[in-house]
Amino acid sequence: MSETTSADPTTATISVEDLEAEATAFLEANAERRAEARFEWGQGSDRVSLIRESTPEEDLRELAEARAWSQKVFDAGFGWLTGPPAYGGRGLSGDHARRWHELEGHYVVPPQFVFGVGLGMVAPTILSHGNDEVKQRYLAAMHRGDLVGCQLFSEPGAGSDLAGLGTRAVRDGDEWVVNGQKVWTSYAHLADIGEIICRTDPHLPKHKGLTAFLVDMHAPGVEVRPLRQMTGGSSFNEVFFTDVRIPDSHRLGEVNGGWGVALTTLMNERAAIGVGAGSAGVRERRLFELVRHMGKADDPLVRQQVAQLVVNGRVAGYTNLRAMAKVAAGQAPGPELSLAKMSLTKNALLLGDLLSSVLGPQLVADTGRWGTYAWGEFVLGVPGMRVAGGTDEVLRNIVGERVLGLPKEPAPR
C-alpha cells in the first residue's frame, strides 16, 4: 500500500514497487519494448565513436524527438523524480530514480544526449546556487526538455587553468555586460541557456574575482561557431560574447564567488563523464570478436592487453559505484569522480593500443572490411576525451594534493 503525504500525485511519497507498477504501465502505453541486444559480427553499422558526432540536420531531428519524449515523461510524473516538489520534482529517492531508468532502458525511446550537459551539470548548479526566481523559471523547464543547457567555462587562453579566464562581466545597474570568448562548448548550437563564469574583479587574486551567471543563448551579442575536429564532426563549439546583457537576478552565487559555483559544476561534470568509464563505453563482446576475427586470439601479448583492459574496466566500475553511493546518500561528490574520469581516459588509451596491435594498418587505411577502419573514429576521439571534464594532468594534481596530501604543483615563474 502506498504512503502518501500529498494530495498531488506528482509529489506523493510512494514505494519503489508502486513506482515500478506506475512506470511500467506508462511505458507499455507509450513505447515499444526493446528486443534483446545481440551483437553479430558483420551485421549492422560498425561505427564506433568515443565522442558522439552528428550532422546539424541530425541534431535538430534528434532534439525534436528527445524533447517530445522528455515532455511526455515529465508530464506523467517521471521527469525529475528526486527533485524538490517546489521546483517541479517529485521528492522521491535515488532508488526510485534508478528503478525508473532501469525500466526505461527496456524500451525503445529517443536518446537524451542533448540534455546531458544541462541536466547533469547546469541544473544541479542552479539548484545549489540559484535564487528562487531562477530555480522556478528554469529547473522544471530543463527537466521537461523545454530548454537545453550548456556549460561555458573553457577559453582559448585558459583551458585547464579555469581560474585564468579572461571573459569580463561589468556591472551596469541591475545588469551585467559580458564580453569575451568561450571554447569547446558542447551543444552550444542547440542551447537555450548557458552557465558562464566571468571575471568581475581583475584586481583580486584570480580565483577570487570570478562570478557565475546564467546567460540567454539567444540574446543579442551571442555568436556560436562550430569547431571541426579531426574525427570529422563538429560536436564542440566556440562562443563569442559582445556586449551581452545578463540581469543580476541570473547571477549564481555571490559576486566574486564564482569559483565555488564552478567547482559544483565541475564535480557534477566529472560524475557525468566518469560514470561511463568501464571499458571506455565499448562492450567487451565486440572486442573479443574483433580479436578473434583478426586471428589474434592466441597472441599472448594481445591477450594480456585484453585482460588489462577488462580488469581496469571492472575496477573503474566499482569506483563509480562508490561515488554514486555517496551521491545517493546525500553526500557531495568526492575524489572518486576524478578517479573515474582518469579511468575513462586511461582505458580509452589502452584500447587504442590494443586496436593498433590487432588491426595494424587497417586502423588507418580503409580496406572495406567490416569492423576494422571504423575504429579510427574512436581513436581520434581519445585526445578530446582527455581534455573534457578536466585534463589528466589537472586531475592527477587534484588527487595528489587533496587526497594523498602531496605538495602543490610548483607555480610557473
Instruction: Read off the pLDDT of residues 139-195 as tens digits, 9 standing for 90 and up.
Output: 999 999 999 999 999 999 876 677 889 999 999 999 999 999 999 898 999 999 999
Q: How far is CA 388 from the centre of its chain?
A: 9
Extents of the domains making up the chain: 150-258, 275-403
pLDDT at 35 over 50: yes
Length of the chain: 413
Dist CA 373 CA 60 (whole Å): 28
According to CATH, the topology of domain 150-258 is: Butyryl-CoA Dehydrogenase, subunit A; domain 2 (2.40.110)
User: Higher model confidence: residue 381 or residue 258?
Assistant: 258
pLDDT at 118 over 70: yes
Residue 179: how many CA atoms within 13 Å on its side-chain side?
5
Dist CA 105 CA 111 (whole Å): 11
Inter-residue contact 178 to 169 (CB < 8 Å): yes
- What is residue 297's predicted lDDT score, i.e. its pLDDT? 93
Q: Mean of the pLDDT values across residues 6-24?
A: 75
Residues annotated as catalytic are 269
Q: Mean of the pLDDT values across residues 403-407?
A: 88
Of the CATH numbers 3.50.50.60, 1.20.1180.10, 1.20.1250.20, 1.20.140.10, which one belongs to the domain with range 275-403? 1.20.140.10
**Which are the contacts of 9, defined by CB distance < 8 A and separation ≥ 6?**
77
- What is residue 299's predicted lDDT score, i.e. its pLDDT? 95
Strands 210-216 and 193-199: antiparallel
User: Higher model confidence: residue 358 or residue 3?
Assistant: 358
Dist CA 90 CA 130 (whole Å): 19
pLDDT at 279 over 60: no
Dist CA 412 CA 410 (whole Å): 6
User: Higher model confidence: residue 124 or residue 11?
Assistant: 124
User: Higher model confidence: residue 156 or residue 54?
Assistant: 156
Inter-residue contact 112 to 70 (CB < 8 Å): yes
Dist CA 305 CA 347 (whole Å): 11
- What is residue 55's predicted lDDT score, i.e. its pLDDT? 82
- What is residue 363's predicted lDDT score, i.e. its pLDDT? 94
**Which are the contacts of 245, defined by CB distance < 8 A and separation ≥ 6?**
172, 175, 176, 177, 178, 219, 220, 221
What pLDDT band is residue 29 in, cutting at 50, 70 and 90? very high
Q: Mean of the pLDDT values across residues 70-79?
A: 97
Per-residue cell: 121: 551539470
Q: Kindly report the average pLDDT of the chain as a whole number.
A: 87
Instruction: Read off the pLDDT of residues 288-344 as tens digits, 9 standing for 90 and up.
Output: 899 999 999 999 999 999 999 988 888 887 877 777 676 666 666 567 777 878 888
pLDDT at 3 over 60: no
Share of the chain above pLDDT 70, in %: 89
User: At 264, which helix (H) or strand (E)?
Assistant: helix 258-274
Could you report how far apart the first and last alpha carbons of the chain are, in Å?
67
Dist CA 69 CA 113 (whole Å): 13
- What is residue 206's predicted lDDT score, i.e. its pLDDT? 86
- What is residue 84's predicted lDDT score, i.e. its pLDDT? 95
- What is residue 163's predicted lDDT score, i.e. its pLDDT? 80
Q: Mean of the pLDDT values across residues 47-70?
A: 89
Dist CA 286 CA 291 (whole Å): 9
**Which are the contacts of 132, defined by CB distance < 8 A and separation ≥ 6?**
none
- Looking at the DSSP bridge assignments, the partners of residue 224 are 239
Instruction: Read off the pLDDT of residues 194-246 as tens digits, 9 standing for 90 and up.
Output: 999 999 999 999 889 999 999 999 999 999 999 887 877 777 899 999 999 99
**Which are the contacts of 326, defined by CB distance < 8 A and separation ≥ 6?**
332, 333, 334, 336
Inter-residue contact 206 to 163 (CB < 8 Å): yes
Inter-residue contact 142 to 122 (CB < 8 Å): yes
What pLDDT band is residue 277 in, cutting at 50, 70 and 90? very low
Dist CA 5 CA 374 (whole Å): 54
Q: Mean of the pLDDT values across residues 347-364?
A: 92
Strands 210-216 and 236-247: unpaired
Diameter of the chain measured on Cα atoms: 72
- What is residue 271's predicted lDDT score, i.e. its pLDDT? 56
